[in-house]
Structure 1
Amino acid sequence: MTVQVAPLAEALDMLCPMHLHLDAGGRIVHAGPTLCKVLSGGLVGREFTQVFELERPRKVRTIAQLLQTAGQKLHLRLRTPPHTRVKAVLAPHPLGSGALVDMSFGISILDAVRDFTLSSADFAPTDLTIEMLYLVEAKSAAMEASRLLNERLQDAMLRVEEQAYSDTLTGLKNRRAFDHLLGHLLEGRQDFALMQLDLDFFKQVNDTLGHAAGDHVLQTVAAIMREETRGDDIVARVGGDEFILVFPGLVNRSRLDEVAARLIERIREPIPFAGKNAAISASGGVVRSVDYIAPTVDALLGDADTALYASKDAGRGRVTFHLDLPKSRSA
């Protein structure tokens, strides 16, 4: 029975797509389709050692010595970038001189798949690489699904946390958030000023223009407060028409006067709603942490409230510093 070389090469291409046929001089006679893809073709006629660097066994230096390594595991590296490492085994050619070399990427398979855009079609159907690629694809799909799920969970948690610490009508911090942040400032012994503001004549807006108008006024006032404060300032709605602003690091009296004046002036401007104007003002009380030996939440809020009602008693539409009140005492 005579076996033709061409059918043998075709069979090897199917069974061992990463094989080489070397002649007796170490030149490449034929290359499997996957190696042609990896090395961009043009292999036939080139010397094996021009394409691959033999890393082990180290004693092999010549083609003659290479052809004597039949059955041994060879450790090779591509001489061209990305210098991928491969494992190989050599066997004498069954139909004449020369040798057949079968190769595998080994642990470099994932790098090779990425670098050379390989797929399952580039490997023998029974190659365990196929199973590993399936596992990698499954793992990648599972990790992507897990990532997306984690993102959704984190987004949901952030939304829940934001809702738990936000006033739904105005988008400002709520009382829970304010208590937490103020406690954090006190624990850190950071200097700050606290301003408590109440809206004047807000009940009349609700009574004459309706609650929708009242909601619009609250949202407008909240927007004014955000515009007139810094990014790290705390602006919270703690009651129906009650607000508290905290200014970390700001205790300079003249600057606080300026902030208060801008807030009072802007809130005093008529707020249009459904063809009518809602007329309100704001009264406030201010305390500074530096005016206390050991400031506490109760002392700060109590004194700010006292200063606020002093503003209301003085005619409303103004801000009073607790330190300016007669017989003001620091806690």
Structure 2
Amino acid sequence: MNWLVRHSIESYMRQNHGRQFLDSAHAAMEADCHFSSFSARDGIALISKAAHLLGKPETEIFGDFGEWIARIEPVRNALRVMGRDFSEFLTNLGMLPDRLRLVLGEAAIPQLRVRSAGGKAVSVELPPGRGGWSDLLAGMLRVMAKDYEADTGIVAGENHVEIQVRATQAAISAIGCNDGNSEGENAMKDELKTASFTISDDAISILLPMHLIVDGQGNLLGAGPTLRKFLPAHASNLDEAFTIIHPVCDGLAVGVLDDAARRGLRLELRLNGSAQITLYAHPVRIGADRLLLDLSFGAGLPDAIKKLQLDISDFPASSLASELVFLHDANLSVMRNLPRLEQDRRRAQQNADNRAMMDPLTGLLNVQGFEKAFLGMPGSDLKKEYGFALALLELEYLDEMVEFYGHVAGHRIIAQVGRIIGDAVAKGDIAARLEWNRIALILPNIHDGMQARALCERIASAIAKPVPCGESYCHVAASWGIVMSSVGPGRNLEAMLSDAEAALDGSKRSGGGQVTVLNLSENPYLRPHSGTIWQ
């Protein structure tokens, strides 16, 4: 939010005084503070530097900044709904901080205290120590007065603003206008304006579920179904249920209600009890000794829904609150589903990562998957006491089969080899296709060369079985090179693959279809053991 304050001040200076002036203000400002920790006080200091550069009083710059803010369209729209004319706007001025927060977020906007100064004069008091705010507020009020076509005098003091309303432009009702309509149309409009009717308690509860009816002594005579959900249980009088915040109430609340109903004022109330919810109401007289209040939560609706556990059924269908509750419920639904959606996203990402590590032809790992699986093995630093086996397989005669029967046959052979190896290896073993005709196995549960040789011989025997290739059969052989991780200190995967390839070369030099286990401690190779080539 400090960034938003800074951005607003900089935008004002750039639009009103140019980019070069803003750079000069920055240069002067940087001597006193750092923008990395920009605060509201830094904003005041920046405006002070701008006033010094322009040779103008700070009060004038703050006033200009206030006028600039009030002309921003979202801000103007938020302020314009505070009253039908400027007099009503001033009456509801206490709502200004909440309205600005709708646009500016949680900005540090001071609370305002509005008092009547007699006649059409109004005094707005601000908390002490909020330098610049009174001039800024005066600038905003000047723009709104002009917007409402009101003739006013506005003077800013140190911690207050005095407003004198000399005249306002009365709003013209669409029904009350006479712009050349026929006498019959005007008569119908008069009839609409004077029509009266009686409404039942049930009907008013449907239309105004947050209404409240009080008598001349402030006793609660009735309340709408939504309001009854959170009214203090012990409350039988208006003063026991609510505290009137604005206008300032020095006596009984019912006196303020009567005055507000007579003058058409809007009230700001706070719900007594633990919830401390702020509400707004327009009181109207419905009899000699009764007042009707239609309450609303205003900008505090989302907070009230959460604290009071309300839902869309608690508001009339035609109310804007219903739309906001719908959005609130939709937001809650999304937030509740976010963990599941995130879990689904992670699962999909994991599946995609797994597919990226797989060889699609054999269903075994590819090179990237092989390296990742090896690094993820317990004891993959090759220093386990018993070690493990790494076996490298090469399919012999595969290129001849492809040359004779075509690539489809070659793919069929490789897929068949993938299935054989997948069925033969145990849980925890790693199998990967590294090249066109080479497959590697890491066997963490095999700790000596004889065990590894026995497994590779079984796989070689299965691979040697003929594979259907059209009307004929394809034959390949499997040559193996095996190395144990306990052979040779301090070696890594690359070194083991190199040693396994040396053993594989020994198998191929011995006629192919062989299994060779490398033994560096004795002879260069263990005696090659012949596997089955044709069957």
Fold agreement, TM-score > 0.5 = yes
Q: Percent identity?
A: 20
- The one of 201, 207, 210 equivalent to 1:18 is 210
Q: In the alignment, what sits opposite 1:63? A: 236
Quote the offset at 1:149 in angstroms.
Answer: 12
Q: In the alignment, what sits opposite 2:60? A: none
Check whether the contact 2:230–2:308 (CA below 8 A) recurs between aligned residues.
no
State yes or no: 1:240 paired with 2:436: yes
Q: In the alignment, what sits opposite 2:507? A: 311
Quote the offset at 1:234 in angstroms.
Answer: 2.5
Q: In the alignment, what sits opposite 1:124? A: 319
d(CA) in 2 for partners of 1:97 and 1:255?
102
Which one has a bigger Cα radius of gyration?
2
Q: How does 1:159-170 map to 2 (within 5 A)?
A: 159=352, 165-170=357-362
d(CA) in 1 for partners of 2:307 and 2:270?
21
Check whether the contact 1:112–1:118 (CA below 8 A) recurs between aligned residues.
no
Q: In the alignment, what sits opposite 2:469? A: 273
Check whether the contact 2:214–2:292 (CA below 8 A) recurs between aligned residues.
yes
Q: In the alignment, what sits opposite 1:58? A: none
Check whether the contact 1:206–1:213 (CA below 8 A) recurs between aligned residues.
yes
Q: CA RMSD in A?
A: 4.9
Residue 54 and residue 120 in structure 1: after superposition, are their counterparts in 2 closer, same or farther (change >3 A)? closer
State yes or no: 1:6 paired with 2:161: no
d(CA) in 2 for partners of 1:179 and 1:281?
26
Check whether the contact 2:453–2:517 (CA below 8 A) recurs between aligned residues.
no
Corresponding residue SS for 1:63: coil
d(CA) in 1 for partners of 2:379 and 2:277?
61
Quote the offset at 1:153 in angstroms.
Answer: 11
Quote the offset at 1:196 in angstroms.
Answer: 0.3
Quote the offset at 1:8 in angstroms.
Answer: 9.2
Quote the offset at 1:318 in angstroms.
Answer: 3.5
d(CA) in 1 for partners of 2:272 and 2:471?
85
Q: How does 1:1-331 map to 2 (within 5 A)?
A: 6=199, 14=207, 16-21=208-213, 29=222, 31=224, 35=226, 52=230, 54=232, 61=234, 63-64=236-237, 66=240, 72-75=269-272, 94-95=286-287, 100=292, 102=295, 104=297, 107-109=303-305, 116-118=311-313, 121-122=316-317, 124-125=319-320, 127=321, 130-131=323-324, 133-134=326-327, 159=352, 165-182=357-374, 188-190=380-382, 191-253=387-449, 255-323=451-519, 327-328=523-524
Corresponding residue SS for 1:282: strand
d(CA) in 1 for partners of 2:345 and 2:366?
25
**One-letter amino acid of the structure 2 residue matched with residue 63 of structure 1:** S
| TM-score, reference length from structure 1 | 0.65
Deviations 1:267-311 (A, max 9, x none): 122212223221222110111112221113343122211222322
Quote the offset at 1:98 in angstroms.
Answer: 6.6
Check whether the contact 1:22–1:30 (CA below 8 A) recurs between aligned residues.
no
Corresponding residue SS for 1:323: coil
Deviations 1:140-182 (A, max 9, x none): 889999x9999889968964x5675443533433334434544
d(CA) in 1 for partners of 2:354 and 2:195?
80
Check whether the contact 2:397–2:477 (CA below 8 A) recurs between aligned residues.
yes
d(CA) in 1 for partners of 2:459 and 2:213?
86
Corresponding residue SS for 1:199: strand
d(CA) in 1 for partners of 2:409 and 2:391?
25
Deviations 1:39-64 (A, max 9, x none): xxxxxxxxx6xx65628xxxxx5524
Corresponding residue SS for 2:486: helix
> Larger deviation: 300-309 or 21-30?
21-30
Corresponding residue SS for 1:294: coil
Quote the offset at 1:66 in angstroms.
Answer: 3.1
Paired positions, count: 297
d(CA) in 2 for partners of 1:281 and 1:256?
18
Residue 63 and residue 252 in structure 1: after superposition, are their counterparts in 2 closer, same or farther (change >3 A)? farther
Check whether the contact 1:120–1:130 (CA below 8 A) recurs between aligned residues.
no
d(CA) in 2 for partners of 1:256 and 1:85?
76
d(CA) in 1 for partners of 2:276 and 2:448?
68
**One-letter amino acid of the structure 1 residue matched with residue 224 of structure 2:** A
Check whether the contact 2:449–2:484 (CA below 8 A) recurs between aligned residues.
no
Quote the offset at 1:220 in angstroms.
Answer: 0.8
Check whether the contact 1:170–1:219 (CA below 8 A) recurs between aligned residues.
yes
Corresponding residue SS for 2:497: helix
d(CA) in 1 for partners of 2:407 and 2:209?
78
**One-letter amino acid of the structure 2 residue matched with residue 54 of structure 1:** P
d(CA) in 2 for partners of 1:108 and 1:317?
79
d(CA) in 2 for partners of 1:228 and 1:28?
84
Corresponding residue SS for 2:431: strand
**One-letter amino acid of the structure 2 residue matched with residue 6 of structure 1:** I
Corresponding residue SS for 2:523: coil
d(CA) in 1 for partners of 2:235 and 2:345?
60
Q: Which runs of 5+ in 1 are unaligned?
A: 37-47, 56-60, 78-83
**One-letter amino acid of the structure 1 residue matched with residue 240 of structure 2:** L
